[in-house]
C-alpha cells in the first residue's frame, strides 16, 4: 500500500516521477506528491486525488517556469494514519529532511511525545511526519549514521526515500518489510515500490535487502549495511516488458488481465510438465519435501486464501492427509499448532502482504517447512520461504485479482498431483491423464472468455440489487467465496458465499423475491443435491443464475439465466467458472459506473496489517 519512487540522474525528474507514480497508482490513490531538488533547495508539490491531479499541478508549475530538476521523490498514498488531506499527503519535511514512506510506524505516538518535549511538533496527523521529525532531530550531516540511529528507534514496517537539503541530488533509501526495488541505468539511479515503475528504464534490478541503505546518485547506486559497509546487490532480471503493465487497448486492466489468463496459465503450467508428468526440478522443489510431513496448513489473505480453499480440496483428495486453510491475519495471533511435520504453504500475488509474511515467519519459527506460491519474483514472501513456486502471471495491476488467482490454482493442482504421484498415491498413468486434462482446460477457458456478452447481459440485471448470494458445494463452494469477494470489492454490492446445503440453517430467510443467487453446480458428485438447493431458492422466487458444465441437464424452471461451461473434467471446472464470476463482477461494476480497477478504500499489495 502506497507507492514510492525516487530518481536522480540526467532526465527530467518530475516526468520520471509522474510516470512512475502513474504505474504505481494501483498501490494507493487517495493523494499524491513529489519533492525535488531545484536551484533554491527542495520544492514539494502535493495534493489529494489521483496522480493525474498531481500531474496537472506539476504541469502548471512547469508553465510557471519552476527550474529544472533531475532528482526527486514521489508518493501515491493509501491513507492509514490521518485523513485524506493535502497536509497528510507525502512528502513530509522537517528541517533538512524531506521523505516519503510506505508502511506504518507503530510507535509513532511515543516518538511524537518525546519529539514534542524537544519542541518538534508535527503539522499533519501522519506517522510518516514523525519519522521525518525524528530523522531531522538526529541528523548531524552523516546520513547513514543518522539512519542507523533512527532505525534503532522506529518500530513497524517501512520503506523510505529520504532527501537531505544539504546533500543535493542524492537520495537515501531503506526498508523494513515494505518492498523496494532499484536499478542504475544510463539515465541515472531509480528506486520504487514495484518493478512496474522501473521497467521503462531497465529489466535488471535488485531487491533492496531489509535494513540496508541504498545511496542513489546520478552516476552510481550503492548499497551498504547500517554501518556503512558496502554490500553487492544480487541482481535479478524480469522477463516481461512495459506492454505487460499497460492496458494494451482494453478499457481496464481487469478486463485485460481476465483475457490474459490462457497465457498466464500456459506460462505457469507448461514449464512444470516434463515427460507428461508434473515436475518441479527447475523450481528446486524436491520430492523429499513431503518426507515426514503429516499435515499441511495453507495461509494467505483474500483471493489468495480463496485459492487455498480450492487447493485444500485437491490436496486432501489426492494426498489423504489433513489440510487446513487459515486466514493469515488470524493465524499469526492464534498460537497455531505447528511443528516439523507441518508444511505451511503461503500464497500471495504480491509476495508482500504483511499478514501473510508474518504468518510465514511464525511458521518458520515453529520449525515448519515452508513453500510459497508467489507472483512477484524476489518478493519478501518468496525470499523468506524454504521453497518457492512462482506463478508466471506477469504484472497484475487491477486491484481485483484475476489472473494471479487462476495461476495460483494451477500451482496448487500441480503440487497435489506431483506429490500424490511421488508418494505413490497416484499411479503414473493416472497422473499423466490428469496433466492432459489440466492442459485441455486452457482452450476451454479461452472459450469461456468468449461468453462475455451473455455475462454482460446478466450483469445488467444485477446493477440495482443490494444483496446477492453465491452458492455451491465442494469445489464450487470454495469458488463461491471468490465470486463473492470479486463482486463486492468492485461493484460495492453486498454479497455472501454459502455452502449450498447450509442455506436452510439460517440464511434462506434472506432469500426473497428477486434476490440474485449465483448457483454453481459443476461438480458431478453433488449435482443432484445442488439442484435441490437451487429449487429451494427458486421456490422463494430468487433470481437464479445457474452455472453448470456441458452435458448437465437443468430444467428451465429453476433458473433465470443458465451458463453452460465447455466440457472439461469437473475437477477443472473452477478455472472456467472463475472466469464467469470475474466477468460478472467486472460488468456489474462497469454498469454501475464505478472505477473497476481502483475500487474505493482498497489498494493492491497490502503491506500494512
Ligand atoms: C481481491 C484481492 C485481495 C488479495 C489479497 C492478498 O481481489 O486481490 O483479496 O488477494 O489482498 O494479496 P496478495 O495475493 O498480494 O497476498
pLDDT digits (tens, 9 = 90+) for 298-350: 999 999 999 999 999 999 999 999 999 999 999 988 888 899 999 999 999 99
The residue-averaged pLDDT of 376-399 equals: 94
Confirm whether 604 is a catalytic residue.
yes
* Pocket flag, ligand 1, residue 94 (CB < 6 Å): no
Q: Using the predicted structure, report yes or no on whether residue 219 has a pLDDT greater than 90.
A: yes
Between the CA of residue 572 and those of 73, 412, 440, 470, what are the distances in Å? 46, 12, 9, 19
The proportion of the chain whose per-residue pLDDT surpasses 70, expressed as a percent, equals 99
Residue nearest to atom 9 of ligand 1 (CA): 302
pLDDT score at 549? 96
Confirm whether 2 is a catalytic residue.
yes
Look over the chain and give the mean of its residue pLDDT values, rounded to a whole number: 95
pLDDT band at 411 (very low <50, low <70, confident <90, very high): very high
Q: Using the predicted structure, report yes or no on whether residue 270 has a pLDDT greater than 80.
A: yes
- Do residues 126 and 136 make contact, with C-beta atoms less than 8 angstroms apart? no
Between the CA of residue 346 and those of 278, 314, 368, 397, 399, what are the distances in Å? 20, 16, 12, 21, 20
pLDDT band at 134 (very low <50, low <70, confident <90, very high): very high
Q: Which atom of ligand 1 lies at the shortest distance from residue 405's CA?
A: 10
How far is 582 from 495, CA to CA, in rounded Å? 14
pLDDT score at 391? 97
pLDDT score at 40? 86
Mutate to test the pocket of ligand 1, among 303, 389, 495, 598 (most ligand atoms within 8 A of CB): 303
Mutate to test the pocket of ligand 1, among 326, 347, 349 (most ligand atoms within 8 A of CB): 349
pLDDT band at 601 (very low <50, low <70, confident <90, very high): confident
pLDDT band at 453 (very low <50, low <70, confident <90, very high): very high
pLDDT digits (tens, 9 = 90+) for 91-102: 999 999 999 999
Phi-psi region of 605 (alpha: psi -120 to 50; beta: other; left: phi over 0): left
pLDDT band at 65 (very low <50, low <70, confident <90, very high): low
Q: Which atom of ligand 1 lies at the shortest distance from residue 305's CA?
A: 10
pLDDT score at 64? 63
The proportion of the chain whose per-residue pLDDT surpasses 90, expressed as a percent, equals 90
How far is 116 from 137, CA to CA, in rounded Å? 11
Amino acid at each position: 500500500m502506497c507507492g514510492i519512487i525516487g530518481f536522480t540522474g540526467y532526465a527530467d525528474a518530475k516526468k520520471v516521477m509522474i510516470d512512475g507514480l502513474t504505474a504505481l497508482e494501483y498501490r494507493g490513490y487517495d493523494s499524491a506528491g513529489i519533492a525535488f531538488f531545484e536551484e533554491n533547495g527542495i520544492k514539494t508539490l502535493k495534493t489529494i486525488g489521483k496522480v493525474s491531479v498531481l500531474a496537472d499541478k506539476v504541469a502548471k508549475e512547469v508553465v510557471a517556469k519552476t527550474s529544472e530538476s533531475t532528482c526527486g521523490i514521489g508518493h501515491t498514498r493509501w491513507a492509514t494514519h490521518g485523513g485524506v488531506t493535502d497536509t497528510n499527503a507525502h512528502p513530509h519535511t522537517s528541517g533538512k529532511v524531506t521523505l516519503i514512506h510506505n508502511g506504518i510506524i507503530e510507535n509513532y505516538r511515543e516518538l511524537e511525545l518525546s519529539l514534542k518535549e524537544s519542541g518538534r511538533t508535527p503539522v499533519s496527523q501522519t506517522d510518516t511526519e514523525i519519522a521525518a521529525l525524528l530523522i531531522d532531530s538526529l541528523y548531524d550531516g552523516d546520513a547513514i549514521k543518522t539512519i542507523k540511529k533512527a532505525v534503532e528507534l522506529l518500530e513497524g514496517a517501512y520503506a523510505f526515500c529520504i532527501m537531505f537539503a544539504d546533500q543535493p541530488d542524492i537520495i537515501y533509501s531503506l526498508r523494513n518489510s515494505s518492498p523496494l526495488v532499484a536499478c542504475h541505468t544510463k539515465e541515472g539511479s531509480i528506486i520504487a515500490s514495484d518493478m512496474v515503475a522501473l521497467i521503462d528504464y531497465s529489466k535488471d534490478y535488485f531487491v533492496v535487502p531489509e535494513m540496508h541503505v541504498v545511496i542513489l546518485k546520478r552516476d552510481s547506486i550503492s548499497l551498504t549495511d547500517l554501518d556503512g559497509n558496502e554490500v553487492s546487490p544480487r541482481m535479478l532480471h524480469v522477463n516481461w516488458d512495459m506492454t505487460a503493465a499497460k492496458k494494451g487497448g482494453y478499457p481496464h486492466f481487469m478486463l485485460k488481465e481476465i483475457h490474459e489468463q490462457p497465457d498466464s496459465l500456459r506460462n505457469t503450467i507448461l514449464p512444470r510438465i516434463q515427460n507428461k508428468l508434473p515436475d518441479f526440478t527447475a523450481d528446486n522443489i524436491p520430492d523429499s519435501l513431503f518426507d515426514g510431513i503429516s499435515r499441511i496448513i495453507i495461509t494467505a489473505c483474500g483471493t489468495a486464501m480463496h485459492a487455498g480453499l480450492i487447493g485444500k480440496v485437491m490436496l486432501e483428495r489426492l494426498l489423504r492427509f489433513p489440510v487446513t486453510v487459515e486466514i493469515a491475519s488470524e493465524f499469526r495471533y492464534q498460537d497455531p499448532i505447528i511443528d516439523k511435520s507441518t508444511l505451511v504453504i503461503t500464497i500471495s500475488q504480491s509476495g508482500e502482504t504483511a499478514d501473510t509474511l508474518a504468518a510465514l515467519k511464525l511458521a518458520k519459527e515453529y520449525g515448519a517447512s515452508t513453500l510459497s506460491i508467489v507472483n512477484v519474483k524476489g518478493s519478501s514472501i518468496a525470499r523468506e520461504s524454504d521453497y518457492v513456486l512462482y506463478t508466471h502471471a506477469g504484472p497484475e495491476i487491477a486491484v481485483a485479482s484475476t489472473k494471479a488467482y487462476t495461476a495460483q490454482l494451477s500451482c496448487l493442482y500441480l503440487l497435489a498431483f506431483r506429490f500424490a504421484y511421488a508418494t505413490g498415491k497416484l499411479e503414473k498413468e493416472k497422473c499423466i491423464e490428469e496433466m492432459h486434462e489440466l492442459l485441455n482446460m486452457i482452450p476451454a477457458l479461452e472459450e469461456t472468455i468468449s461468453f462475455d456478452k451473455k455475462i454482460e447481459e446478466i450483469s445488467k440485471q444485477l446493477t440495482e440489487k443490494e444483496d446477492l448470494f453465491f452458492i455451491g458445494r465442494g469445489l464450487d463452494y470454495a469458488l463461491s467465496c471468490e465470486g463473492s469477494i470479486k463482486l463486492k470489492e468492485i461493484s460495492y454490492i453486498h454479497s455472501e458465499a454459502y455452502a449450498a446445503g447450509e442455506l436452510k440453517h439460517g440464511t434462506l430467510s434472506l432469500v426473497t423475491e428477486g434476490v440474485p443467487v449465483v448457483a454453481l453446480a459443476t461438480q458431478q458428485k453433488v449435482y443432484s443435491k445442488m439442484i435441490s438447493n437451487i429449487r429451494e431458492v427458486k421456490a422463494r422466487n430468487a433470481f437464479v443464475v445457474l452455472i453448470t458444465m456441458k452435458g448437465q441437464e437443468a430444467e428451465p424452471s429453476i433458473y433465470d439465466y443458465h451458463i453452460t461451461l465447455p466440457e472439461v473434467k469437473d475437477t477443472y471446472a473452477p478455472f472456467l467458472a472463475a472466469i464467469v464470476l470475474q466477468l460478472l463482477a467486472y460488468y456489474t461494476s462497469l454498469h454501475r459506473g464505478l472505477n473497476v480497477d481502483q475500487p474505493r478504500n482498497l489498494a493492491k499489495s497490502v503491506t500494512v496489517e
